């Protein structure tokens, strides 16, 4: 009889031992539910948390719930908010969070449902962000902290660019402050209600609705076209000034060159006349002979040239008589 009961007893004990063991994987934490309640640490209200590894529980009475202990990302959909100017903006954001109080998280999310936790957390973030956006205008929302060193004193810029940069520097941007306030308020509320610690909050993208964006683009386009027309007008004006200066310089150079050429030719002619005069005074007959030879050379340069002259004229005196005497 004892032998017949030994084997079943061993099997039952093995089954009970296996039912008493549970494993918590790395990156997760475990809590034990007994009679519908989270098991607490002795004489405290803190939930008993089981670290990764092998642990024991009461079989049949205890149920183990494993929860993700890693940092999780809630990347919500873009939502529309209204600024203090009553203008709509569309903001895309994300939240980094992790479970801090596993017992409270389990109870607040209906059994540790991650989708429920994200829905509740997203509602908290949206409410706080809506309040922060509603107290600021668009320029403050899209701009970072004021940068007083935007325009160094030793840099010279076009007056249009300078004015735009000054206006940008004067905007007291509060984008970073908004994210800090949302993180602070959401972290406190989420920890209290959900047992969740919000690690970080960021606004990824801030857009305007399509109808508002189009009107802003048209206004920006008109402003840029106005600036472009102004620059083109200034460029044409400068081009005319440069062209006029160049033409004046060309005219001045040509006039100076012509004056110099005339003076040079006058001096040369005077010097040549002086040489001719000196040569003629030394030997008038020889000078006359050379002049006649030069005239003959020029007159009979081509074979087809024909001269109709009196043979007894002075032009042929050296041809008729080598001495030139008539």
Q: What is the pTM of this model?
A: 0.57
In this structure, of 19-28, 263-272, 316-325, the range with the lowest mean pLDDT score is 316-325
pLDDT in tens, 51-99: 999 888 888 788 888 999 999 999 878 888 998 888 888 999 999 999 9
Could you read off the pLDDT of 151-167 as tens digits, one per residue? Answer: 444 444 445 444 544 55
Q: Which range, of 93-102, 230-239, 310-319, averages the lowest pLDDT?
A: 310-319
Q: For the chain, which residues make up each domain, given as ranges?
A: 16-68, 72-208, 213-282, 283-326
Token digits for 119? 């829905």
Q: What is the CATH number of domain 72-208?
A: 3.30.479.30
Q: How does pLDDT run across 281-296, given as a tens digit for each residue?
A: 777 777 777 777 677 6
Name the average pLDDT for the chain.
Answer: 81
Q: What is the mean pLDDT of residues 31-53?
A: 84
């Amino acid at each position: 009889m004892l032998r017949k009961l030994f084997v079943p007893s061993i099997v039952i004990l093995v089954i009970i031992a296996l039912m008493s063991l549970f494993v918590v994987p790395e990156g997760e934490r475990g809590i034990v539910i007994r009679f519908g309640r989270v098991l607490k640490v002795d004489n405290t209200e803190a939930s008993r948390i089981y670290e990764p590894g092998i642990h024991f529980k009461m079989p049949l009475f205890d149920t183990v719930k494993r929860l993700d202990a890693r940092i999780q990302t809630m990347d919500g959909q873009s939502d529309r908010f209204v600024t203090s100017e009553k203008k709509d903006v569309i903001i895309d954001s994300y939240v980094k969070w992790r479970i801090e109080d596993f017992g409270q998280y389990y109870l607040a999310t209906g059994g540790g449902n991650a989708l429920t936790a994200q829905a509740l957390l997203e509602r908290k973030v949206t409410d706080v962000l809506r309040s922060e956006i509603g107290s600021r205008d668009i320029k403050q929302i899209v701009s970072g902290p004021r940068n007083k060193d935007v325009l160094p004193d030793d840099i010279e810029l076009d007056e249009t660019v300078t004015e735009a940069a000054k206006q940008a520097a004067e905007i007291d941007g509060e984008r970073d402050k908004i994210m800090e306030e949302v993180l602070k308020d959401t972290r406190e509320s989420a920890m209290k209600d959900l047992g969740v610690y919000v690690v970080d909050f960021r606004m990824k993208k801030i857009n305007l609705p399509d109808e508002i964006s189009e009107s802003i683009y048209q206004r920006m386009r008109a402003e840029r076209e106005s600036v472009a027309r102004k620059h083109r007008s200034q460029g044409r004006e400068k081009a005319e000034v440069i062209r006029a200066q160049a033409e004046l310089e060309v005219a001045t150079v040509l006039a100076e060159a012509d004056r110099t050429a005339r003076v040079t030719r006058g001096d040369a002619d005077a010097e040549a006349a002086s040489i001719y005069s000196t040569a003629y005074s030394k030997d008038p007959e020889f000078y006359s002979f050379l002049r006649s030879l030069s005239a003959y050379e020029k007159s009979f340069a081509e074979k087809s040239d024909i001269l109709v002259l009196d043979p007894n004229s002075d032009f042929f005196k050296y041809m008729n008589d080598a001495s030139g005497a008539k």
